[in-house]
Amino acid sequence: LEKLANETDTTITLFKDDLRIGTSNKDNAGNYLTGTRFQNQKVLNVVYNQGVEYFGEVKVRERDFLAIYRPYKTDNPHEKIMFFVGLDVHHINDVSHNISMNVLVTLFILFIVLVVLVILLLRVIVIRPVKKTVNIFNSILRDDGTIDLSLNIDVTSTDEIGEMETSINNFLTEQKEFISTVKATSKELDNAAGMLASNAQESAGASTEISANITSVSNAVTKQNQTLGSVQEIFGASIEEIQSL
């Protein structure tokens, strides 16, 4: 019984009636309880009188056991044999505590591994694409202060990061088209400004010529007025001479 009990980490006892005829259970002094009697009448009644197993928690010599008492039938119907297998409750509690501690340690290790995996996954899925996008933006603005809009981001996913990269590429494309439009418009404005300047010079020349002509006409009119005045004086003198005759 001792060997079997050690292999199964249990306490085993064989009863005949209420007498322990073989056991691995010991008292506090280390002596086997063989030859002692079992005094739990409730268990004896269930096993011997009812002929069924008893399962439950019992106290044996100040030790609590989670036990099974099973009747054992022999060829002699009047012979009462009972077999006991029990687990020390304190031992169960110790084992449960150790198992709980092991489970907690395992869960903690799994949690650490999970956190590391999540961080690595974030680096691959989120941080690396965002860093690539930031590098693209840094490359757009050159050291000499000019802007290079010819760069595009390689879109490698269809998730939110991929949508962001696509939106940035669309933004860069729109900016390139806008700048091209501005350059074309600026060139057209330069040409129009040149034409306006040329027309302004021509208008200024024409204005000068018109002003000179107006001045010439004004001088001619003045001269004609002076001539007309002289003529009037001559006519007046002539009329006075005629009247004096």
The Cα–Cα gap between 209 and 212 comes to: 5
Instruction: Kindly state the helix (H) or strand (E) to which residue 219 belongs, with its residue range.
Output: helix 160-244
Instruction: Kindly state the helix (H) or strand (E) to which residue 130 belongs, with its residue range.
Output: helix 128-140
CB burial of residue 16 (10 Å; 0-12, 13-18, 19+): middle
User: What is the CA angle 180-183-187, rounded to 5?
Assistant: 140
Task: Kindly give the interhelix angle for 160-244 and 128-140, rounded to the nearest 10 degrees.
Answer: 20
Pair 63, 88: CB distance under 8 Å: yes
- Mean pLDDT, 10 residues at a time, over the chain (245 residues)? 76 90 83 86 89 85 82 84 85 78 91 91 75 73 68 72 77 79 81 74 67 67 64 56 54
Question: What is the pTM (predicted TM-score) of this model?
Answer: 0.41
Please give the pLDDT value at position 112. Answer: 94
Instruction: Kindly state the helix (H) or strand (E) to which residue 86 belongs, with its residue range.
Output: strand 81-88
Please give the pLDDT value at position 6. Answer: 77
CB atoms within 10 A of CB 241: 9
